[in-house]
Structure 1
Amino acid sequence: MDDRWENRAVLVNLLEPLGFQLTEAENGQRGLEKIRQSQPDLVITDLAMPVMNGFELLKQVRGDAALQHQKIIVSSASVAQADQQMSLDVGGDDFLAKPVEFSELFKLLAIHLNLKWIYEMTAASDSQLAPATASQPSEGTMLPSAVELKTLLDLAQKGNLKRLREHIEQLVHSNHHYAGFAAQVLQLAKQFKAEEIEALLQQYLSEEKAHV
């Protein structure tokens, strides 16, 4: 759960193609309601959220006899050791820093869900190992028009990642079906990987032309 759609979209776009079933919540109160309804195998929650923050959510869950064994990973951009320790002290099972490093996410999922990943080499430029299909876009990802893709590519080539992020957020506000596409690009933008954004956009532009 997270009050920012782009943070939720990153996880959804990454994990759903691997077979995970995800439920989203924009704040701790909604998250608590969904936990009570479905009792998921694992919860990933932000700390700073409106209505009910992550700390209060943890207290509520750990204070409920029916939910106290729920596995919860706290994910936050806070680098303060005190915040990280406090989230564990009030009931978090683990801590995942933002921006999310996929390798760390996969490691925590393996630990808390008792998973064993089957790895394959990807075509990523860093040649790192990643779970099979994890780097692939979701089937049916809706793409902006070729004109919009070229605009984004131009911004990436100029290194103007701030304007690129703003433009992508405007696209999603105009059509929420672009969320999957946006999540991929925003995750790279947060890590300042302009060259990888260029490669991704050029790939999508090629696909757009192939379908014309």
Structure 2
Amino acid sequence: MSSERQRSHPTNLEPLGFEVVLAKNGQEEVARAKELQPDLILTDMVMPVMTGFEAVQEIRQIPELKDIIIIAISASAFEVEREQMLRAGCDDFLPKPVDASKLFALLETHLKLEWVYEAPVKESVANNRVVTEKVACPLIPPPPAELAIWYQLAMLGDIHELQKQATHLEQVDKKYLPFAQKLQKLAKTFEHEQISAWLEPLMAENHTATTCPSQPLDIKHNVILVIDDNPVNLGVIVAYLKNAGFQILTAQNGEIGLKMAKIARPNLILLDVMMPGIDGFETCKRLKAIDTLEDIPVIFMTALAKY
């Protein structure tokens, strides 16, 4: 993989097997992108000569570069500025100072990677020497019936229930611990699409159906569907409403939100206005065009004072 990044970037990706190429400003970034056609670009948005905004916009105008993944790096904490970065053509946002775990999570998502972590070590004493051995930690899946439940929960976006199921699995048998920990990691960042994709081949091996549920799993009254592309916002909203006794389903973009609304038919939808892909306005328009969903109340969420 090739990647553009600033010299001030604190995370060293080369030991992980990435080929890293540097650019000092936006103009050089565009030139290097044309020359190398990297798999991913990490770009600062405030640079001399040409800003990151200008560089990204120019890159998106080049046919052979229009689909390259671009992640903006910025110290800005304002949601409006983050939306401007996405509108300029960035695929995602990474705040400064850069947190390695957040960076790795973005690389995993956008480059379809699966990190292989070094196995824990076991030490023993032999002939007055410490002998270190690697201990394998295989991902042992739970029984097919539980996989099916997890898959349906992921399809519904019920992250809270997925986390409960993973916690329960950890307590059932230690052999499931690595599997449950991976599920917890994906659930923590509301990656229910990734969870579904991860579970599908495991279910196929066990001849378990992977179709969407015709009826939601244990859908109760007071169900709220939250559609927002920001995991932090989702986390705050889910925690607050869960404590108030609501059953919460989540979706990270409008297209997934539409699918979940059709499956779950929630009592209320909280809808972010600014999202990549189809925005909140278009999502609401499509929702209201569906006979079975047109009467569901929709509340817009936005950081903008005027829209």
Q: Shorter chain as normaliser: what TM range?
A: 0.5 to 0.7
Name the SS of the counterpart of 1:106 in structure 2. Answer: helix
Give the superposition deviation at 1:121. 7.0
Among candidates 58, 65, 72, match of residue 63 of structure 2: 65
Counterpart contact for 1:74–1:96, Cα < 8 Å: yes
Counterpart contact for 2:5–2:41, Cα < 8 Å: no
Give a deviation string over 1:57-102, Cα, whole Å, max 9, x none: 1110111222111110001111111111100011100000010111
Tell me whether 1:106 sits opposite 2:104 in the alignment.
yes
Structure with greater helix share of residues: 1
Distance across 1 between alignment mates of 2:32 and 2:57: 16
Q: Residues 120 and 85 (structure 1 numbering): CA distance in 2 closer, same or farther, change over 3 Å?
A: same
Distance across 1 between alignment mates of 2:54 and 2:78: 18
Give the superposition deviation at 1:2. 5.9
Q: Residues 27 and 2 (structure 1 numbering): CA distance in 2 closer, same or farther, change over 3 Å?
A: farther
| Alignment RMSD | 1.9
Counterpart contact for 2:5–2:21, Cα < 8 Å: no
Counterpart contact for 1:74–1:87, Cα < 8 Å: yes
Counterpart amino acid of residue 67 in structure 2: H
Alignment of 1:26-175 (within 5 A): 26-120=24-118
Counterpart contact for 1:28–1:53, Cα < 8 Å: yes
Q: Residues 17 and 75 (structure 1 numbering): CA distance in 2 closer, same or farther, change over 3 Å?
A: same
- List structure 1 runs of 4+ shifted beyond 6 angstroms: none
Give a deviation string over 1:99-150, Cα, whole Å, max 9, x none: 0111110000001111100124789xxxxxxxxxxxxxxxxxxxxxxxxxxx
Counterpart amino acid of residue 51 in structure 2: N
Name the SS of the counterpart of 1:104 in structure 2. Answer: helix
Counterpart amino acid of residue 107 in structure 1: A
Distance across 1 between alignment mates of 2:17 and 2:5: 21
Name the SS of the counterpart of 1:23 in structure 2. Answer: strand
| Other-structure match for 1:18 | 16
Distance across 2 between alignment mates of 1:67 and 1:96: 21
Counterpart amino acid of residue 41 in structure 1: D
Structure 1 portions without partners, runs of 5+: 124-212
* Count of residues in Structure 1 that have an aligned counterpart in Structure 2: 118
Structure 2 portions without partners, runs of 5+: 122-307
Distance across 1 between alignment mates of 2:27 and 2:120: 39
Structure with greater strand share of residues: 2
Counterpart amino acid of residue 82 in structure 2: Q
TM score, norm. by length of structure 2: 0.37
| Other-structure match for 1:189 | none
Counterpart contact for 2:75–2:95, Cα < 8 Å: yes
Q: Residues 80 and 121 (structure 1 numbering): CA distance in 2 closer, same or farther, change over 3 Å?
A: farther
Name the SS of the counterpart of 2:21 in structure 1. Answer: coil
